[in-house]
């Protein structure tokens, strides 16, 4: 395995970790819609100790992409400029809201910031789905690695379906996390009931996305893997829904995490060795070789990753262990 392939694999790992961890954050944020203030406070408290650590995965994945495949980084950020601006705006509002919602004893104050958390969770979830499906479907990239389209070219029935699928899968994933963390029985029962509805809708969208992926992309050229990975993801997701129906939130969380991991790996492996597909000419696609940094840079990055990635993983594991207890009404008084 050469360093180009190694860093492609590492970026898959980073984005997989990001979508699993930040995915339930987004889901919890969206689930705030229509909840009473007490319930919203419990739900926010459940992700309060971990949400910012989860976002580090996105920053790390972006940094790794910038260092390992700078041409992809430049092309992708110019391609998705407006979408990334909206995403960044949502994440800024979301981060500020977590810090400020409890700083003033006013119902309207908290309601306003809770709305910012919903916005900052829904928009990134939707746009990530649009971005990932665009990468595989293909974009108008010219011979100079420049995006030759506009924002409207990013939106198609396939990519919009991808965005909606990500949203509902994340909502169900967030509900499974709340099932493990919330100690209020009334809220737990309501979360279980609503999570089944979101999970079934997410499963329907997932199957539709798989079908459209077979039609709209060249994933079938990957042979058995192209079909099996979606089948594994769908099976894991359906198993998670059934586990949630039985009240086994931890099992449901594990299986939805596996479904997300299977889907992310499927999209990236379907791309390999490409990073961004050109719809104008397949030869103009960005690959792990024509978009990569120099071998010397990749060698230095590999050494740094071997040292710091295990440290980050150990720290985050310690954080989750430290805050593993369920959240109850008494925790809101502290």
What is the tens place of the pLDDT at every residue in 266-324?
888 889 899 999 999 989 999 999 999 999 999 999 998 888 888 888 888 888 888 88
Check pLDDT > 70 for residue 330.
no
How much is the pLDDT for 49? 86
pLDDT, tens digit, 9 for 90 and up, residues 63-106: 899 999 999 999 998 899 999 999 999 999 999 999 898 888 88
What integer best gives the mean pLDDT of the chain?
89
Burial tier of 131 (Cβ tally within 10 Å: 0-12, 13-18, 19+): buried
Q: What would the pLDDT profile of 124-137 be if each residue is shown by its tens digit?
A: 999 999 999 999 89
Residue 94: exposure state from Cβ atoms within 10 A (0-12, 13-18, ≥19): buried
Is residue 223 pLDDT above 70, yes or no? no
pLDDT of residue 208: 94
Task: Write down the pLDDT at residue 31.
Answer: 94
Asked if residues 158 and 166 have their Cβ atoms less than 8 Å apart, the reply is no
Residue 215: band (very low, low, confident or very high) from pLDDT cuts 50, 70, 90:
confident
Q: What is the pLDDT of residue 288?
A: 94
Kindly state the average pLDDT of the residues 187-213.
91
How, if at all, do strands 286-287 and 274-276 pair? antiparallel
- Which pLDDT score, from 0 to 100, does residue 1 have? 66
Q: The whole model's pTM is what?
A: 0.93
Cα 196 to the chain's mean position, in Å? 20
In the predicted structure, residue 25 carries a pLDDT above the cut 80: yes
User: What pLDDT is recorded for position 315?
Assistant: 85
pLDDT at residue 28, as a whole number: 95
- Give percent of the chain above pLDDT 90: 57
CA dihedral 11, 14, 19, 21 (to 10 degrees): 180
pLDDT of residue 152: 83
Please tell me the predicted confidence (pLDDT) of residue 92: 92
Largest interatomic CA distance in the chain:
61
Nearest Cα residue to 286 out of 78, 73, 132: 73
Mean local confidence (pLDDT), 105-130: 92
**Which of 42-51, 144-153, 168-177, 220-229: highest mean pLDDT?**
168-177
pLDDT-based confidence at residue 162 (cuts at 50, 70, 90): very high
User: What value does the mean pLDDT take over residues 174-183?
Assistant: 91
* Bond into 273 cis (ω within 30): yes
Report the pLDDT value the prediction gives residue 331, as an integer from 0 to 100.
Answer: 64
Predicted local distance difference test score (pLDDT) of residue 4: 92
What are the backbone angles phi and psi of residue 179, rounded to the nearest 5°? -60, -25
Residue 334 has pLDDT above 70, yes or no: no
């Amino acid at each position: 395995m050469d360093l180009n392939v190694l860093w492609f694999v590492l970026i898959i790992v980073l984005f997989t970790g990001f979508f699993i961890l930040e995915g339930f954050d987004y889901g919890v944020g969206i689930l705030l819609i229509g909840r009473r203030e007490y319930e919203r406070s419990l739900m926010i408290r459940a992700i309060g100790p971990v949400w910012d650590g989860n976002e580090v995965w996105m920053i790390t994945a972006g940094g790794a992409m910038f260092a390992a495949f700078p041409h992809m980084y430049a092309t992708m950020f110019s391609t998705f400029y407006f979408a990334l601006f909206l995403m960044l705006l949502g994440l800024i509002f979301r981060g500020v809201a977590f810090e400020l919602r409890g700083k003033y004893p006013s119902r309207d104050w908290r309601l306003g910031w809770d709305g910012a958390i919903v916005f900052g969770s829904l928009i990134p979830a939707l746009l990530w789905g649009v971005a990932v499906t665009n990468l595989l479907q293909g974009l108008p990239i010219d011979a100079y690695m420049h995006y030759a389209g506009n924002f409207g070219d990013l939106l198609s029935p396939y990519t919009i379906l991808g965005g909606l699928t990500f949203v509902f899968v994340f909502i169900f994933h967030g509900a499974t996390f709340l099932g493990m963390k919330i100690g209020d029985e009334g809220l737990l029962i309501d979360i279980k009931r609503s999570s089944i509805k979101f999970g079934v809708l997410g499963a329907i969208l997932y199957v539709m996305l798989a079908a459209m992926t077979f039609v709209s992309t060249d994933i079938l050229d990957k042979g058995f893997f192209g079909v099996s990975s979606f089948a594994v993801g769908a099976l894991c997701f359906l198993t998670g829904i059934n586990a949630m129906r039985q009240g086994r939130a931890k099992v449901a969380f594990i299986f939805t995490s596996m479904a997300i991991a299977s889907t992310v790996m499927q999209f990236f492996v379907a791309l390999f060795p490409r990073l961004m597909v050109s719809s104008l000419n397949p030869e103009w696609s960005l690959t792990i070789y024509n978009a990569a940094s120099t071998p010397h840079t990749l060698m230095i990055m590999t050494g740094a990753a071997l040292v710091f990635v295990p440290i980050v993983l150990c720290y985050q594991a310690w954080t989750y262990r430290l805050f593993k207890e369920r959240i109850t009404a008494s925790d809101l008084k502290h």
